[in-house]
Structure 1
Amino acid sequence: MKIKIVQEEYGWFYPACRKCFKKVIAKSEYLQNVENVSDDILQMPATSLVSPKSRSECTSITTKFKVQVWVQDESGSVSLVTFDRDVQKILGLAAGDIRERQVKANDTESFPHEIFRLVDKKVTFKIVVSEFNLKNDYPVYTVQKNM
């Protein structure tokens, strides 16, 4: 299949914990979405970042790719979400390096031009059709592996 479009409106990265590499969120957002909150989290400063996966404070973050693309082959087209390892493999760049360049240039709002190098790349992806996709008729699938 060939990547036809990078779907900019869905962003290109997420902040991740350096330990578990899962997405981190602000403490306030975490408190809004979780019922049983530990005392450790309640006692953290308001500006803390929390890893919902490990249910703990994240003190060191990194930037990871999360890019949604539209791919097409002779059988049809579909929207896929590609994560860090696969995007890095195709681009040969780390998300953190691109984000660092943006911060230095005081341009954190624009969509990085480097991401558009994905367009017209021929790829073979193994995708996941999750229970969420099936139950909700959600037509965006997650890339499990770049073959």
Structure 2
Amino acid sequence: MTRYYSILLLFLFLNCTTNKEAVAPSKIEINTLLDQWHKDASETNFKGYFNAMSNESIFIGTDATENWNKKAFMDFAKPYFDKGKAWSFTTLERNVYFSTDGKMAWFDELLNTQMKICRGSGVLMKENESWKIKHYVLSMTIPNDNTAEVIKIKAPIEEALIEKF
């Protein structure tokens, strides 16, 4: 009888674990997608890079004027990919979070880039059983002790932009 209960408990445990894993989103999936996305840019794989993005995606770059829908971002990026020199971002750290229904994820990441450390953040949605990037923001980090110097550099350019708004 004890053997019967042991087998039953083992079966129930395995069944619960398997069902939970099938429903729960995986950080591994998100990390794999984002790592591949960054790799596709560094290897100038235009199709792979943009297939990771939803058709309604938005990409916000480091310049105040860089707020692109997918089509506009593709138009901007195509010449870089065609020349074989896009950008190369390597993840230093990433945090991934999920909605309670498991259909949305958001993340933040620190990246090693040609601009030194940048921060990326974004939102992904589950579309037809695969994750797609819906929104991505790339920001340059500025050490707090150097903020005043950076403001002096960008003030003339951004004051003109502020006037436009």
Q: Which has the higher helix share?
A: 2
TM-score, reference length from structure 2: 0.27
Q: Which has the higher contact order (CA 8 A, sep 6+)?
A: 1
TM-score if structure 1 supplies the norm length? 0.29
